[in-house]
Structure 1
């Protein structure tokens, strides 16, 4: 491990490490001087005699000087390739920087600080650092000589390091623990990871969502902005300067207490009434409840079962049977989880006919997490169970038969396991099923024979997809070109999404036998598109175009129309948010949603209409494809069935729809899920 420190007689410094966006390298040879006579870029210059190149010419008799009386000012050197930077030596004259930082970048756009000080006093600063970068920048914010006649002056700017691949990930952070848990904050601590070069950062996640990044020397941090009376599942990944990410730590559960002690439930909603009916839906409204602290939401019930939720005083309940009477009530909830008495009951009869989204029928239930699902030629379907690793056949009437178990599948105590399932376009003759699953060492794609009602011989097609607790991806889809497309997550390392030598953060395209198609956009590579975070929805329209649904981190989820060789911007762009979104090389999403109202789990297309199932959003979106875009999304089933994982066309023109409740671990048979069919009219 390379310590980050600053040493020089008579001077003190403050070392800091932050996130380094890097993709390569590290340490096999002794450090060498990398910066001498390399290209230099500066913010300003004090004249021709003080050009930036003077700082890398190997002579202390020349210098770079910035324009007088301007703060901040900076200079960076282009090393020509990504290197493992281990030392930065700065030779100042009297016009030094009192406050400055040293920063690294792989693209001269996204900079990460590896050292900073507020006590600079000139002379020589010889800094032992750690990180991987092509560009190294000195960024001055306060001059040692503050008069208007002075700028910053640097005689020599020397960067030392090594080149060569670093593929070793840090060890898993240990003993993650929570303390000082309050209504809106909690302190998280862990034992240090180790790395062959050095840990540069720790990333803290809540069930797959990045919430905070701290330096590689930080082993405890306070998480703020939490919601009172809420369950969290925090874990930690370690990261090194080359972008290698450890496996995730164990998850530590945290339940924040209510902000105040509140045992008073809201009042019952008043005057529940129907404002409209169709063949398969009922629109309801009611008078607002009151509460001593505040009402946070409402739940709608029918026959004792929750069928909808709302933050306001209206809800539309979909998926009902035509020409049928339903009785509804509503209840209010507050921040402490108190539930009001029920409103008055209202009975409404749906009309005859049919809506675009018709009746929902429960076909069967599962005690595990149904993830992939395919139709068989006889009208039945196969689905796999993520945590039991079984594949089950289900008929239209709900009869279930286990046809086999996939071997060598491993959970991740998160969202790894038995994931994508696809059927060969030539199934009638070759009988192949294609499976994406997590193994003890990676994520991989295999194919297995399904004949005479049971699983047979299997073949491994592709290995080496990095696994982690979350962000494994997993959706498989055959295209009309006969190629297999796989949606792959970034393995909780955004750097991989931009690295064409990595399989992660990509849509991959394979021949059915697992070889690389000759017409893929990057010669010899499986990569079809890149810059993705976590993909769980893929579908082809009638024009043969591929659509993709992608989970964002904390800002936006995406619907993308995929282009061959396209770059979709992660990690510098999330949806349309982020400093990198102005990059003309990134393909913009067709649609975005806030993550709380989406978090897509699957994508299906029927008659050029997109259906996107949502996990956190607990709803199904319907969007008609219109050219290169869609019409306005319409949400169905909000709060009716909980988290919705997989949506697939049925063989009869409707939709299969599976729920995904109780799915944040790798324990088999501890979930309560449903497999349903949705009529489309």
Structure 2
């Protein structure tokens, strides 16, 4: 406890106040789990991005240009900055955000937004530096700019990968052929180093393009398995959820949804097109997407959670063990709270989401826009019962040899319900081993640097882990 408190003081970050339970708006049942929905904060203006920060606060962007930290326990909104040159018109404005994974040492905040240059609407990626002492963002550094934009189809989500590269989605800016033009930055998922340079191992040398053929990606997430997923708006048909693979083509505008028409089939074969995992016709205006694998809601283990604008749904997409198919999907509600844009999950398994009823396409309620939380209030992650279960199952997870140099064998008392993952001392994922139907796996450590690592997986919906020393 003393070490944690000292860290927070040194970093200038404050722990949230003791949690309070807000009045329930509704309760829902998922299997045998009862979930309570309540409001954390009201009277927001078109929230766009929502992240769980390393300070245990929520970090939020609003389309008009404001960046804030939100205390998840009290709902207090602490503004950090209103970006002066944001142009909010139509669907444009301040969009996605990402926080540097090593936030204490590198307190960088990455944002993407629309701005006006010479009378033209454009898009850029900017890095800010956070001052915890002052509670401000400053020292803006443009990493990528001058991307053509219009008032619709701008994307844009940001995601930092464990290898410290950044993914950025862009829309086609209503210039449909540009999505297939490898020289254009529109209609793509881009991959950059955190200083804005081009990674040497991108699919095309010297190019920022990671994938192409996108119309308007609205969500981007990396699951614990290491797989990447994106949600994307279709035209009047075929909203998509995609499995993102480097160098792949996602078809737009030549393919809408699946490769199921003769012309589409020919294009898909010739252009390495990756068809979607699922598609929605009529469209629901898919938006934010996140991965869920917490014991707080065990029925949602190894799944994606997605919100939508037009349909106002919270949708659970259950993945298969390999994570390359959607095994089933279900909606927790539809349209009850209006348009939904952003979603994230806390380390305690609470689901935070925001309405988007002040975005010009709905009739806002008296308290819109709202930040909501969906939680299992009966779940106590540090309770004696849960701790004893984790300890018992972790004890049954064996690793030999330990310390290890070349390889290590991991044995479990039963087949795991999630992939086996290896994390370094900073929590970064270094290796993933599929565990479908298996209770034993071998870790290849020949390219793993010496040090202390953590092996993680899930048994019967409960996360388990064990330390491994690599020599």
Gap change, CA 1:639 and 1:587, over 3 Å in 2: same
1:548 aligns with 2:230: yes
State the TM-score, normalizing by the size of structure 2. Answer: 0.67
State the TM-score, normalizing by the size of structure 1. Answer: 0.46
- 2:197 maps to what in 1? 515
Say which of 469, 478, 495 aligns to 2:160: 478
- 1:354 maps to what in 2? 33
Say which of 317, 340, 346 aligns to 1:650: 346
1:616 aligns with 2:310: yes
1:451 aligns with 2:131: yes
Are the aligned partners of 1:595 and 1:616 in contact in 2 as well (CA < 8 Å)?
Answer: no
What is the deviation of 1:637? 1.8
Structure 1 alignment gaps of length 5 or more: 1-302, 308-318, 323-349
1:538 aligns with 2:220: yes
What is the deviation of 1:524? 0.7
Structure 2 alignment gaps of length 5 or more: 1-22, 294-301, 380-471
Q: Partners of 1:464 and 1:392 in 2: how far apart?
A: 26
What is the deviation of 1:321? 6.8
Are the aligned partners of 1:497 and 1:506 in contact in 2 as well (CA < 8 Å)?
Answer: yes
1:630 aligns with 2:326: yes
Q: Partners of 2:254 and 2:160 in 1: how far apart?
A: 30
3-state SS, counterpart of residue 182 of structure 2:
coil
Gap change, CA 1:434 and 1:518, over 3 Å in 2: same
- 1:593 maps to what in 2? 280
What is the deviation of 1:546? 0.9
Say which of 116, 126, 141 aligns to 1:440: 116
Are the aligned partners of 2:50 and 2:353 in contact in 1 as well (CA < 8 Å)?
Answer: no
Are the aligned partners of 2:343 and 2:353 in contact in 1 as well (CA < 8 Å)?
Answer: yes
- What are the within-5 Å matches in structure 2 for residues 101-500 of structure 1? 320=27, 354-355=33-34, 358-387=35-64, 389-396=65-72, 397-411=74-88, 413-441=89-117, 442-452=122-132, 453-500=135-182
Q: Partners of 1:500 and 1:671 in 2: how far apart?
A: 44
Root mean square deviation, CA, Å: 2.4
Count of equivalent residues: 330
1:604 aligns with 2:282: no
1:675 aligns with 2:371: yes
What is the deviation of 1:664? 3.2
3-state SS, counterpart of residue 428 of structure 1:
coil
In the TM superposition, what whole-angstrom CA distance separates every residue of 1:15-43 from its partner, at most 9, and x where no partner exists?
A: xxxxxxxxxxxxxxxxxxxxxxxxxxxxx
What is the deviation of 1:384? 1.1
3-state SS, counterpart of residue 105 of structure 2:
helix
Larger Rg: 1
In the TM superposition, what whole-angstrom CA distance separates every residue of 1:364-394 from its partner, at most 9, and x where no partner exists?
A: 013410001222223111111102x111211
What is the deviation of 1:508? 0.5
Gap change, CA 1:550 and 1:378, over 3 Å in 2: same
Q: Partners of 1:595 and 1:655 in 2: how far apart?
A: 27
Q: Partners of 1:551 and 1:409 in 2: how far apart?
A: 23
What is the deviation of 1:481? 2.1
